[in-house]
Structure 1
């Protein structure tokens, strides 16, 4: 995993960003919409893996509450932060490797998460774009 840091970015910030990525995985596996929603900034935007753009926390919440509890998938999904870059001490650009492991084989996604650090030090998802990795 590569990490580029601004001078004032701390190890705690890097660890916190990695924890957010790991936390995305846990509520999705548990189909826990409320746990998933704790990760978002109030002004967030989210693009789903199927390219549906969700603007603002309320829209993201409506979508997550409607879709996540009844989601059906086989196998397991993992998320890994493969590159973290801090263009400013309170902004992190995070490239994520998402792999869906199933009996039919693995499929991969390459989300980009832009996170912002709140005044209380907590990192939240602010702008996220989920991109499938297409195989030839």
Structure 2
């Protein structure tokens, strides 16, 4: 049985990962974003581009994020955290890009894993564009 204090600490740490994703996306900070990943992470973009390993994620992020033409106004909200094991959690997120042309929404699913030093990192990410209707 996982102690409640440990579980609450883990939830706060996972929520901080998502908050850091939001901060780094808003700032178009590729290095801050990449610091959240395990070296063997797998990432799938909202448009279906599959990136395997931190090198591939880094190459894509460094090329796309700093030069993106959106104004950086994006929010990330943790909708649900499901612990699959004490050291593995699935995190459902509501992502909204705000613009003068209207909001667009994504529905990322992150799998985060607790490292031996107690920190949590992104291990798997799958983003899905939410379409109206």
Task: Please say whether Structure 1 and Structure 2 have the same fold, judged by a TM-score greater than 0.5.
Answer: yes
Contact in 1 for aligned 2:26/2:72 (Cα 8 Å)? no
- The CA RMSD over aligned residues, in Å, is 1.2
After superposition, the Cα gap between the structure-2 partners of 1:21 and 1:75, relative to the gap in structure 1 and judged at 3 Å, is: closer
Shift of 1:105: 1.3
After superposition, the Cα gap between the structure-2 partners of 1:46 and 1:20, relative to the gap in structure 1 and judged at 3 Å, is: same
After superposition, the Cα gap between the structure-2 partners of 1:117 and 1:41, relative to the gap in structure 1 and judged at 3 Å, is: same
TM-score, normalised by the number of residues in structure 1: 0.92
Count of residue correspondences: 131
Counterparts of 1:33-48 in structure 2, within 5 Å, are: 33-48=30-45
Shift of 1:75: 5.9
**Equivalent of 2:63 in 55, 62, 66:** 66
Give 5+ residue unaligned stretches, structure 2: none
Aligned equivalent of 1:97: 94
Shift of 1:7: 3.0
TM-score, normalised by the number of residues in structure 2: 0.94
Aligned equivalent of 1:107: 104
Deviations 1:38-86 (A, max 9, x none): 0001110001121100000110011111111111103610001100010
Give 5+ residue unaligned stretches, structure 1: 1-5
- CA separation in 2, counterparts of 1:75 and 1:94? 22
